[in-house]
């Protein structure tokens, strides 16, 4: 059972008993238990604002509560009696609800908050308030907490203001300058808002409160506060060395900072963009950290220092430096591309990339792609200082190379290079028959140009792209005769592979149509054309198809059926018995021819039944 209150109140259990034919007992026993007083964390939500027992300022109030674990939603009931809901009732998906139409007579107002979980509603929590004695509210809200001009208590402040007469909503700006909302800005439905306070060295925190009445924003009221103590310079660490804004001396630098008075520890980010820690990121217990692998290319290096206090990590401080450009003590251990010369034009779809050996380099990673940082052409670890890359698109196409060096188990910041590929294709390419043309014979010789440094080729000829169901295999030279090509206006697909010392290159595909006469077998006897069969036993004979491997004969009483006979025939004739006679009906014969493993489109012949 869930939802039992934890305030020590008594719990009563009634046990009803039912007997067959008698129903439930009329006087069930009631057992009293002392309720628990300490149940740990209460799984139910409780109203936090307005604080229970307070008096309302006007005829509306925004009730808010903290979300609790496991809650699906909440139900708020507000009424003039305990458990009543004559002022408000209904589900609330969030953690707050504004209730209007409250009385202005100083009476008690009851608020009941239910917490609903996946198992149902938990027992509610009741809260008590006093209605306002007067609803003559001002038309403009006024901040009541924190006290204007005071020191803000922390970097997370709950600003609260009085309700205004007929106010629809409010707008709160919190910033480091008058009228600015760089810390927090936006519409607020209730009369309070929690705002962060940035520690950016501002001596004053400015707050501007707007009230919207009748769809019109009234003239705002401005307030000033002193920043929280956690934002003072003595409480937060500040980088001292290297001096912010200077050029770093090398690729390994010790960053040091002053100790924050309230600091527990620090977090340091060193990276190539503000807020990034792609060079180093992590907790530092002391006030200094040696950072390695800083690039030596003159780019901007960003440092971000966070200080952790009892209130959590405070707003960080950002610093910039300039990386060393390779002079002095800067020793860049990264490999760099030597050939092809960066920025040059590649003249082949096969290219060997070479680079210098990095200092203490363990291995390398090379990305070759059609966009910066992509490895869609080639990507992977390389143990040596060169790699041959194939299948580079070479029609005046931009090509990008990214080279990584791993030193001490850490991948260093990579170098990027760009090229343009505008060379000839070194692969063998079919010259005859002309790609896309119509073949006129089921026997065809395919010829191709010699590929650059080619050692052999592979030719696929088939009835689908990449399929070698007509012919497939290694070819030592630059031509091959292929037989048994289906040639009844049939699409033919050819794929040519070129092999070099680096292996087979990506293939080149070609398409043709073969229409060199009907290679299929055709019935010769009985003579076709609607003639009458000679008897209930008839021998069917046909021509040999071009390159035919075997045949299939269907004889039936309907077109395409083989209910009299059906099956493979190795020769060019078959005797069929059991043909029904009788005038007025047709006997259908369907003849299939299999060429190069493919059953060709069949030919149908109608006959008159034997007499």
Q: pLDDT tens, 583-610? A: 668 999 999 999 878 888 888 899 998 8
Residues 257 and 244 in one domain: yes
The predicted structure's pLDDT at residue 528: 66
Q: Could you tell me the CATH number of the domain that includes residue 75? A: 2.60.40.10
Per 3-state DSSP, what percentage of the chain is helix, strand, and coil (rounded to 5)? 0, 50, 50
For the segment 74-109, what is each residue's pLDDT rounded down to a tens digit?
999 999 999 899 988 888 888 999 988 888 788 899
The predicted structure's pLDDT at residue 222: 92
Task: Examine the fold and report which residue of 491, 514, 537 is the final residue of a domain before the chain moves on.
Answer: 514
Please check the confidence at residue 164 and state whether its pLDDT lies above 60. Answer: yes
Q: Tell me if 147 is assigned to some domain.
A: yes
Please check the confidence at residue 69 and state whether its pLDDT lies above 60. Answer: yes
Task: Examine the fold and report which residue of 109, 130, 151 is the final residue of a domain before the chain moves on.
Answer: 130
Burial 127-164 (b: 16+ CB within 10 A, else e): bebebbeebebeebbebeebeeeeebeebebebbbbbb
Candidates 516, 538, 518, 517; CA nearest to 528 is 538
Q: Tell me if 315 is assigned to some domain.
A: yes
The predicted structure's pLDDT at residue 233: 54
Please state the separation of Cα 111 from the chain's center in Å: 44
Please check the confidence at residue 390 and state whether its pLDDT lies above 90. Answer: no
| Number of structural domains in the chain | 6
Place of tokens 């497939």: 472
Please check the confidence at residue 328 and state whether its pLDDT lies above 70. Answer: no
Q: Tell me if 188 is assigned to some domain.
A: yes
For the segment 547-592, what is each residue's pLDDT rounded down to a tens digit?
889 999 999 999 989 999 999 999 999 999 999 987 668 999 999 9
pLDDT band (50, 70, 90) for residue 342: confident
By the 8 A CB rule, do 322 and 247 touch? yes
The predicted structure's pLDDT at residue 329: 53
Q: Residue 66 belongs to what H/E stretch? A: none
Instruction: Provide φ and ψ at 589, rounded to 5°.
Output: -120, 130
Residues 457 and 485 in one domain: yes
Q: Tell me if 5 is assigned to some domain.
A: no
pLDDT band (50, 70, 90) for residue 235: low
Average pLDDT over residues 273-300: 84
Q: Tell me if 73 is assigned to some domain.
A: yes
The predicted structure's pLDDT at residue 34: 63
Q: Tell me if 457 is assigned to some domain.
A: yes
Indicate the SS3 state at residue 527.
coil
Residues 355 and 415 in one domain: yes
Q: Which residue range is the domain that position 150 belongs to?
A: 143-231
Least confident of 153-157, 253-257, 293-297, 380-384: 293-297
The predicted structure's pLDDT at residue 10: 65
The predicted structure's pLDDT at residue 15: 66
Residues 193 and 221 in one domain: yes
Q: Tell me if 332 is assigned to some domain.
A: no
């Amino acid at each position: 059972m869930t939802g039992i209150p934890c305030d020590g109140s008594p719990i009563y259990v009634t046990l009803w008993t039912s007997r067959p034919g008698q129903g439930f007992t009329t006087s069930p026993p009631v057992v009293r238990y002392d309720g628990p007083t300490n149940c740990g964390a209460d799984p139910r939500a409780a109203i936090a604002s307005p604080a229970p027992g307070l008096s309302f300022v006007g005829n509306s109030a925004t009730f808010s509560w903290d979300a609790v674990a496991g809650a699906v939603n909440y139900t708020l009931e507000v009424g003039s009696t305990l458990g009543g809901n004559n002022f408000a009732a209904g589900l609330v998906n969030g953690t707050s609800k504004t209730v209007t139409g409250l009385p202005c007579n100083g009476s008690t107002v009851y608020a009941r908050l239910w917490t609903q979980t996946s198992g149902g509603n938990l027992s509610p929590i009741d809260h008590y308030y006093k209605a306002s004695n007067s609803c003559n509210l001002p038309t403009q809200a006024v901040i009541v907490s924190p006290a204007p001009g005071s020191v803000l208590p922390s970097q997370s402040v709950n600003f609260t203001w009085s309700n205004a007469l007929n106010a629809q909503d409010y707008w709160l700006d919190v910033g480091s300058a008058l009228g600015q909302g760089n810390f927090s800005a936006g519409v607020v439905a209730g009369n309070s808002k929690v705002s962060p306070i940035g520690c950016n060295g501002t001596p004053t925190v400015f707050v501007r409160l707007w009230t919207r009445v009748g769809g019109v924003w009234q003239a705002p009221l401005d307030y000033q506060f002193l920043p929280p103590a956690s934002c003072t310079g003595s409480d937060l660490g500040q980088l001292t060395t290297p001096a912010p804004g200077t050029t770093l001396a090398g690729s390994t630098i010790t960053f040091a900072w002053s100790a924050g008075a309230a600091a527990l520890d620090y977090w340091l980010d060193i990276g190539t963009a503000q807020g990034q820690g792609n060079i180093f990121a992590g907790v530092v217990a002391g006030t200094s950290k040696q950072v390695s692998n800083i690039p030596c290319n003159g780019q901007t290096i960003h440092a971000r220092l966070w200080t952790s206090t009892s209130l959590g990590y405070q707003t960080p401080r950002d610093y910039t430096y300039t990386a060393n450009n390779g002079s002095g003590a800067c020793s860049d251990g990264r490999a760099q591309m030597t050939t092809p010369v960066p920025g040059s034009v590649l003249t082949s779809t096969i290219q060997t990339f070479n680079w210098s050996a990095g200092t203490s380099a363990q291995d390398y990673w090379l990305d070759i792609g059609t966009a910066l940082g992509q490895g869609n052409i080639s990507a992977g670890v390389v143990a040596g200082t060169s790699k041959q890359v194939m299948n580079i698109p070479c029609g005046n196409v931009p090509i990008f190379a990214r080279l990584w060096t791993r030193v001490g188990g850490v991948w260093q910041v990579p170098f990027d290079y760009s090229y343009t590929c505008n060379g000839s294709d070194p692969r063998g390419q079919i010259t005859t028959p002309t790609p896309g043309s119509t073949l006129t014979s089921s026997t065809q010789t395919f010829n191709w140009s010699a590929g650059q440094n080619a050692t052999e080729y592979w030719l696929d000829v088939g009835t689908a792209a990449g399929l070698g169901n007509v012919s497939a295999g290694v070819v030592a030279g630059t031509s091959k005769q292929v037989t048994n090509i289906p040639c009844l206006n049939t699409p033919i697909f050819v794929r040519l592979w070129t092999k070099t010392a680096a292996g087979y290159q990506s293939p080149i595909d070609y398409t043709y149509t073969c229409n060199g006469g009907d290679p299929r077998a055709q019935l010769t006897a009985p003579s076709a054309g609607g003639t009458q069969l000679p008897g209930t036993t008839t021998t069917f004979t046909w021509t040999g198809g071009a390159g035919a491997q075997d045949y299939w004969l269907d004889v039936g009483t309907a077109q395409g059926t083989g209910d009299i006979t059906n099956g493979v025939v190795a020769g060019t004739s078959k005797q069929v018995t059991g043909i029904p006679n009788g005038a007025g009906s047709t006997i259908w014969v369907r003849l299939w021819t299999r060429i190069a493993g493919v059953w060709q489109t069949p030919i149908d012949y109608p006959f008159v039944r034997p007499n």
